[in-house]
Structure 1
Amino acid sequence: MKKFGTFKGVFVPSTEAILGTVLFLLLPALTADVGLFGILMVIFLSHTVTVATAFSIADCATNLNNIGGGGMYALSKRSLGLSFGGSIGIQLFIAQAASIGFYCIGFAEPLSPLFFPHIQQMFPEIFSNTDSILLFKQLVATVVLLLFFIIVMFGADFTLKIQMFILVILFGSIAIIFFSPVISSDFIQDGIFSQTLHLKGMRPLTVSLFIITFTQFFPAVTGIDAGVGMSGELADPKKSLVRGTFLSIIITMILYIITVFIFSLMNPQKIILEHKDGLPIGNLLTDLLGSGNMFPYSIFGIIVLLGILFATSSSALSCFMTAPRTAQSLSRDNVLPRFLSFLSKDFRSSGNEPRFAVIFTFLIAFAVIWIGNINTAAMIVGICYLVVYGWVNGSAFLERISQNPTFRPTSRGHWLISFYGYLASLTAIFIFNWQLGLLIIVVQFIIFRLILKYKEEGKLEGVWWGVVYSFLIKIINVLNGIVQGTKNWRPIVTAISVKGTDKAPETLEIIARLLTQYKGFIHFHHILTEKDEEKDQIDEEARNNYGLIFSGDPTETILSMVQMNFYGNLSPNTVLLGYSKKIDTVRVIKKILSLRKNIILLKNGEKFSGFSEIDIWWRGEKNGNLMVLLAYIIQSSVDEKLNDITIRIIRKLSEDEAEHDARDEMMTLLSKARINGEVIILPFTDEDFLQTVTKISGKSNLVLMGIPGNYTDKTNRSLFNLNEFFFKKEIHKYDSLPPVLFVKSAITHSLIE
């Protein structure tokens, strides 16, 4: 397949798309309406958006070794991922295809005053009513569309040769406009030019008038996607896209500036016919320059008329070139529904031209021509273009701020430039029509979600991870300078399970995720044997969700893991451990407590059946506060899923405690802590503690109690002495209970502010 260079592949289609209907049909009236100063401000403001977009294109393009077809879609998907880029690409294709219809209607506009009266005389039955001039334009537009369809079907090389010829005519027509003030012939209408520049327009330049003028002019400068859309046909896309786009923007901006100086020499009263709905309605350029007086005998008049016709037709042809290639890339990337997979194919199996996509594009453009209310449709298309431009800038901005090592563009852009382009595009959307803009953004989000769900299995890719990571690091750095204290305590949990404990790993994961779902973070690890490392039976989900550790000595592995520190103040403060006979529980608990970390030991995890009822066996504030806090966090997490949960705080009195005082103390504590729960006070008996727990909590879903041990006072410090005998000889007696969380707090957590 033939590849193109910067001039033919990027500059020509972009320049022709920019020098379109606005230059020849709208710019004279806009200049007369707001004056030279006003229109220059509009031109400069509009070009700041496209220049920023060009810098963003340069950032994205020079970072890639292989861009591929699809233009702005191809650049967006590499940064934002296939799902988000696909939603942008679909909008871009629709905008490009619909634009063809608008440009074909624009082609018929200057022909109407020349040929419609004759057509009306020839076919009075068809063209007699008030809507007949619209019918004439639609018929002419359809003929032009068919002609362009045939040209594009011949392929890119033939189409670009046609565009080269059109570009010569365009520049010739613009040259005549430049020299029209000094041309001495009947071509120029008498009295149209004055000796001074009209710095002010017919109406005072207000903010609302400036915005109206901006919305009328801005679509003229959005044609750079026509050249960028040829990315798949370029010999060196990294260089050609950047050079061709910037060259096109600079040259067309110079041409627009010189042109408005010429138009500002014209008499505003002769340009503007009326104002309708706040917009200036002006004479056609052919009438202003008097070409209609001598047509078809004036060579100057013919060239100006051809310039107007070719300005609209070249824009249509440029879009007809790029739209099918966008559709082809979308189909090849499997973004579109399966029934549209034919859009990626050529008529010939060995061909690479998107000819089926050309037919599909033709049908969309044909529908736009005959849609009737073309102004609303044109507004939708314009906003779609702005959304695409906004996200191209957004992708470059996100790449810059994410500071991903893989993003190494050779261009000299800056994140502020891309950020300005993004904000300017977003602002322009809402200036055009905020209701339609909001609707189109919502539709794009829906398309993104559909692609993400059905094409990407719900997995988001692209720059997003780097962006979130970059912000996270900055936030963690801020956290480093803040003292957490008990007021801001969050469970940052290291959850560890050991293979061979039945269903305990699943229960451990459920509890860990509930503890951290809304209030903290979790690091989940599953210890396997060294023999498991040689097997291929470990599924991909386990590898992605858990930190798998292969070890011949689980105890030593856990002792090493609990000593690990993480970045910032997000180091684990709690260890959630699944009980296993394979580990030395006493050694592990002692080590965790020496590190001043909370320990939560899960026993009987295989019996887990939900969280309907949680029992907390209270023996004092040191452990009790943490247990109540954990139960509250679990309750809050489960309540989000519309499950009811009951917390019972149970206290068995000692021999010298009064029931009334104990109940008042517990109720006051829960009230001040703003925790809903039922208080149960059990009188002192000689019954064994385990028997009491079995009787009261045997049918509960989860039981929380302190790790057995006692406190001794030494040098004004209260030291915890672990009951090693319990873990070595008695823990098996708890096998008949529901899942039990043995808790030991490293600090006393405050429940009351």
Structure 2
Amino acid sequence: LGVEFGGVIAIFFYIAQAIAVTLYVIGFTEAVFSAVPDISLSFQAIATFTNMVVFACVFIGAGWTIKLQYGILAVMTLSCLSFFAGAAQTFSLETLNANLSANWTAKQSFFSVFALFFPAVTGIMAGVNMSGDLKNPSKSIPKGTFWAVGITAALYAGIAIFLAGASERAVLLGDTFVMKDMAWSGALIYAGVFCATLSSALGSMMGSPRILQAFARDNIFQKIKWFGAGSGASDEPRRAIVLTFFVAQIGIMAGDLDSIAPIITMFFLITYGTINLACFYEMISHNPSFRPTFKMHHWLVALLGAIGCLSVMVLINPLWATIAMILAAGMFYYIERSEILVQWGDLHSGLAFEQARKALLRLENEKFHPKN
């Protein structure tokens, strides 16, 4: 779609990933206060300390942080097993049937809850964020993404079913840590929540600086070129990591979980919608440079994805959706008016080439007339 759309996607995706660190750090801090209600430190103090720990882990290097994730995965697995084992003892079909209908409260609706839950499933781009660190990204990213989506979808569905079948509606509405009461070990649930939020915070703190680093190296904005520098043999984006830490810290000082989640949702949806739109145009234009090795794609899926993202944005919060689209349009206009010195080729050039190729091929079978 050109450097303008690419720039908008990069900026919005970086901001979404950076603010996501705030979301996960706040989630971790809320779990700490639930586990230790008499703690004397303030909420912001614990959240700030957690943000500093996440920053320090990622600043040391992605390799060390990725190894740490294996231990986190083990704890989360034990936590999930503890929940399912405990919830199975009180599970009943009668309770499940009673909780199947939505019965929304006055303050909530499907889309307000969707906005809160959506940031929990935005890790679909985690593999793409780390593509520069993968040995074979064209093979690893599709396979890893589908496995990750499949496993997490099954896990989320299983947790929702067991929660609905093992607890009364009033408890589910009022107790955000009801899982600890159902589980075989409440301590394992807290450990799982700690690890899940820290793992997600580490992932966003690793991924977002790499987005900024790659964008800075594209030389679209000379003012952010400084963030394109890498450190060490693994080209760690330490300058971008520092900026991401401060972006996350601003969010920690400014908001809470319920207010931050819908904002992140808007940034992610407009990013995913634009990516789907780009894929749609690439496929219908038959751009010669668009040759994905992953063959399971169709232009209709991409189009529906773009329309779906835009529609959900409006349904969640028309005001925030309008603000997000105005910001995107403003960034697009600014990049379009800027003097971009780099060229990679875009859809417009590819489309012109494809049209010229088709016209030349058609001339081979054309019957010429003296007037032509």
What is the alpha-carbon distance in structure 2 between the residues aligned to residue 407 and residue 357 of structure 1? 30
| Among candidates 284, 303, 306, match of residue 401 of structure 1 | 284
2:80 matched residue in structure 1: 174
2:2 matched residue in structure 1: 81
1:344 matched residue in structure 2: 228
What is the alpha-carbon distance in structure 1 between the residues aligned to residue 342 and residue 327 of structure 2? 18
Q: Is the 8 A contact 2:288 2:354 kept in 1?
A: no
2:201 matched residue in structure 1: 316
Counterpart residue identity of residue 323, structure 1 = S
TM-score normalised by the chain length of structure 2: 0.86
Q: Is the 8 A contact 1:87 1:448 kept in 2?
A: yes
Q: Is the 8 A contact 2:26 2:257 kept in 1?
A: no
TM-score normalised by the chain length of structure 1: 0.44
Cα shift at 1:146: 0.8
What is the alpha-carbon distance in structure 2 between the residues aligned to residue 283 and residue 321 of structure 1? 28
Counterpart residue identity of residue 79, structure 2 = S
Cα shift at 1:202: 8.1
Q: 1:429 to 1:195 in 2, by over 3 A?
A: closer
Counterpart residue identity of residue 430, structure 1 = V
Q: Which moved more, 1:350-359 or 1:233-242?
A: 350-359
1:289 matched residue in structure 2: 182
Cα shift at 1:85: 0.6
Q: Is the 8 A contact 1:331 1:341 kept in 2?
A: yes
Cα shift at 1:286: 4.9
Q: Check if 1:334 corresponds to 2:334.
A: no
What is the alpha-carbon distance in structure 2 between the residues aligned to residue 82 and residue 354 of structure 1? 22
Q: 1:315 to 1:434 in 2, by over 3 A?
A: same
What is the alpha-carbon distance in structure 2 between the residues aligned to residue 455 and residue 373 of structure 1? 39
Q: Is the 8 A contact 1:397 1:416 kept in 2?
A: yes
| Among candidates 92, 98, 105, match of residue 19 of structure 2 | 98
Q: 1:202 to 1:414 in 2, by over 3 A?
A: closer
Structure 1 unmatched ranges of 5 or more: 1-79, 124-135, 184-191, 273-279, 292-299, 477-563, 568-593, 597-753
1:255 matched residue in structure 2: 155
Question: What are the Cα deviations for residues 69-125 of structure 1, in whole angstroms up to 9, with x where unaligned?
Answer: xxxxxxxxxxx3333211110111111111101110100112213323242xxx8xx
Q: What is the SS of the residue equivalent to 1:84?
A: helix
Q: What is the SS of the residue equivalent to 1:144?
A: helix
Q: Is the 8 A contact 1:270 1:288 kept in 2?
A: no
Taking the TM superposition and a 5 Å limit, the aligned residue runs for 1:249-648 are 249-272=149-172, 280-289=173-182, 300-338=185-223, 340-347=224-231, 352-372=235-255, 375-410=258-293, 411-456=295-340, 461-466=345-350
Q: Check if 1:224 corresponds to 2:224.
A: no
Q: 1:290 to 1:353 in 2, by over 3 A?
A: closer
Q: 1:429 to 1:353 in 2, by over 3 A?
A: same
Q: Is the 8 A contact 2:273 2:305 kept in 1?
A: yes
Structure of greater relative contact order (alpha carbons < 8 Å, 6+ residues apart): 2
Question: What are the Cα deviations for residues 118-162 of structure 1, in whole angstroms up to 9, with x where unaligned?
Answer: 42xxx8xxxxxxxxxxxx222111111111111101111100011
What is the alpha-carbon distance in structure 2 between the residues aligned to residue 353 and residue 103 of structure 1? 22
What is the alpha-carbon distance in structure 1 between the residues aligned to residue 78 and residue 332 of structure 2? 45
Question: What are the Cα deviations for residues 48-86 of structure 1, in whole angstroms up to 9, with x where unaligned?
Answer: xxxxxxxxxxxxxxxxxxxxxxxxxxxxxxxx3333211
What is the alpha-carbon distance in structure 2 between the residues aligned to residue 269 and residue 197 of structure 1? 9
Q: Is the 8 A contact 2:87 2:182 kept in 1?
A: no
Q: What is the SS of the residue equivalent to 2:83?
A: helix
Q: 1:466 to 1:435 in 2, by over 3 A?
A: farther
1:687 matched residue in structure 2: none
Q: What is the SS of the residue equivalent to 2:123?
A: coil
2:138 matched residue in structure 1: 238
Cα shift at 1:347: 4.8
Q: Is the 8 A contact 1:98 1:368 kept in 2?
A: yes
Q: 1:444 to 1:461 in 2, by over 3 A?
A: farther
Question: What are the Cα deviations for residues 705-725 of structure 1, in whole angstroms up to 9, with x where unaligned?
Answer: xxxxxxxxxxxxxxxxxxxxx
Q: 1:182 to 1:249 in 2, by over 3 A?
A: closer
Q: Is the 8 A contact 1:92 1:384 kept in 2?
A: yes
1:75 matched residue in structure 2: none
Q: What is the SS of the residue equivalent to 1:412?
A: coil
Cα shift at 1:270: 4.8
What is the alpha-carbon distance in structure 2 between the residues aligned to residue 249 and residue 100 of structure 1? 21
Question: What are the Cα deviations for residues 410-440 of structure 1, in whole angstroms up to 9, with x where unaligned?
Answer: 3121111111111111111112212211221
Cα shift at 1:404: 2.0
2:99 matched residue in structure 1: 201
What is the alpha-carbon distance in structure 2 between the residues aligned to residue 271 and residue 351 of structure 1? 49
What is the alpha-carbon distance in structure 2 between the residues aligned to residue 414 and residue 351 of structure 1? 36
Q: Is the 8 A contact 1:226 1:318 kept in 2?
A: yes
Q: Which moved more, 1:439-448 or 1:357-366?
A: 439-448
Q: Is the 8 A contact 1:97 1:361 kept in 2?
A: yes
Question: What are the Cα deviations for residues 543-587 of structure 1, in whole angstroms up to 9, with x where unaligned?
Answer: xxxxxxxxxxxxxxxxxxxxx9xx9xxxxxxxxxxxxxxxxxxxx
Aligned length: 361
Structure 2 unmatched ranges of 5 or more: none
Counterpart residue identity of residue 52, structure 2 = L
Q: 1:452 to 1:88 in 2, by over 3 A?
A: same
Which protein is bigger by CA-based radius of gyration? 1
Q: Is the 8 A contact 2:79 2:191 kept in 1?
A: yes
What is the alpha-carbon distance in structure 2 between the residues aligned to residue 355 and residue 113 of structure 1? 34
Q: 1:337 to 1:285 in 2, by over 3 A?
A: farther
| Among candidates 55, 58, 64, match of residue 149 of structure 1 | 55
What is the alpha-carbon distance in structure 1 between the residues aligned to residue 146 and residue 332 of structure 2? 31
Q: 1:225 to 1:408 in 2, by over 3 A?
A: closer
